[in-house]
Amino acid sequence: MTDTPTLLMTLTGKDRPGVTAAMFETLAGFGVEVLDIEQVVLRGRLLLGVLVTAPRNVTKLRQQAEQTASSLGMELEMAQGQGDNARRREGRAHVTVLSRPLTPAAVAAITGRIADTGANIDRVVRMARYPVTAIEFHVSGADVGRLRKVLAIEAAHQRVDVAVQEVGLLRHGRRLVVMDVDSTLVQGEAIDQLAAYAGVGRQVAEVTDRAMRGGLDFEDSLRERVALLEGLDADVLDLVYDELALAPGARTLVRTLKRLGYGFAIVSGGFSQLTDRLAADLGIDYSTANELEVADGRLTGKIVGDVVDRGGKAAALRRFARDSKVSLDRTIAIGDGANDLDMLAAAGLGIAFNAKPMVQEAAHTTVNVPYLDAILYLLGISREDIEAADAEHGITTPHPLLP
C-alpha cells in the first residue's frame, strides 16, 4: 500500500446536510478505494478530508469533484501523493490539555514541544469549553515516555495541565477508580473539623505541621491527633458529616463513570464513620478508612485495628481490583498527598489532583483545576457526552461550580 498513488481531497465551506454524501456519490463513479476520512465542523464551517487511491483518470475526477463542490458553495483542494499515512499511526498517543483560560501562547508552546519530539498532530478535538477548556490532540510518531517528560516541563512553565496517554484498548471498557477522600473527593480535612468541635484545633494543627516537616510519619501523627479527640461526643461525627463539602464536579464524575460500568472506591487516612456514609450516599462500591474507637457514646482517642497509611492505601487498591476482577493496569488512582504516592504508583493511571509538588512529580499526570469531573476529559469523555447522558436520564447537569 505504501507505493500506491493516492489523492487527497479537502473540502471546506459552510456546513449543511448532504455535503459528505454528495462528495462520496461523486467518488463512487471512479472505482477508488477510501483510505482515510477526517471531518470537522467548527462554528458552522466544515472541513472534510478524504484520502483515496488515485483513479486512472484523475483529471475527470477533479472536474466532477469541482462541479460538486461548486454546487455546494464550497472550495475544493486536491493533491496527489504516494501511499497512505500508516507509518504515522505508529507511536500513537492522546495529549489532553486543560486550562482556564487556555491562551494561544500555551497552545503554541505545547504543540511546539510535540513537534520537537518528532511527533505529528493528526487530529485535534475539543473535549470541553467550560468550566475549563479541554483540548485533546491525537498524536502519532511519538516516543510516549519522552513526550510525557518534555510536556510536563512545558506544562509547568505555561501553567496548564497536560496528560499524555498511549492509545490502546485500556482507555475503553470497564475500569476501577480508587480515590482519596480528604482534599480530593471532599474539600478540607475531617480531622480538622472534629478538632474544632473538641476545642483542640491549634494542637492538632501543630502535630500536622510537625508531620509535614518530616518530624513524624503518618501513623504516629494520626494517632497523636486522634488522641487529642478523647472524650468528644460521638454524635459530633453526624455534624461533621453534614458539613462535608464535596469537591466541585464530584457527583458528576461518580455518576458518569458508574453509568459506563466503572467500579468506584474510596480509600482514606480519615475515618470510616464518615467515609462509609459517603460511599453509600454516592453509590460507591468500596470504601476503607480508619475506624475511630467509641465507648459509652464518646471517642476514646484511639483507632481500631491497623492504620490505613501510605502502604495501606496501595494494598486497598490491589484488594479492590481483585474483588472487582479488574487488572491493575485498568485501575485509576486519584490523590493529593504523600500518603497517596504508593497508590498512584501501583495504578495503571495515577492522577495527582491539586496535589503537593512532590506528588505531581511522581504521578503519571496532574490536574490542577478545581473540578473533579475534568478527569473525565482525560478518559476521552467530553462535556457534551456528559450532558447528553444526563438529559437521557432526566437530569440537569449541575453547574460546574457545584459538587
Catalytic residue list: 180, 182
Phi, psi of 235 (to 5 degrees): -65, -20
d(CA 366, CA 374): 11
Query: Who's near 214: CB < 8 A, 6+ residues apart?
Result: none
Amino acid, single-letter form, for residue 347? A
- CA 17 to chain CA centroid, nearest Å: 34
> In the numeric block, which cell numbers belong to residue 152?
510536563
- CA 115 to chain CA centroid, nearest Å: 23
Amino acid, single-letter form, for residue 340? D
Under 8 Å between Cβ of 114 and 147: yes
Q: How many CB atoms lie within 10 A of CB 296?
A: 6
Under 8 Å between Cβ of 333 and 267: no
Burial class of residue 231 (count of CB atoms within 10 Å of its CB; 0-12, 13-18, 19+): exposed
Under 8 Å between Cβ of 142 and 91: yes
d(CA 162, CA 111): 11
DSSP, collapsed to helix, strand or coil, labels residue 401 as coil
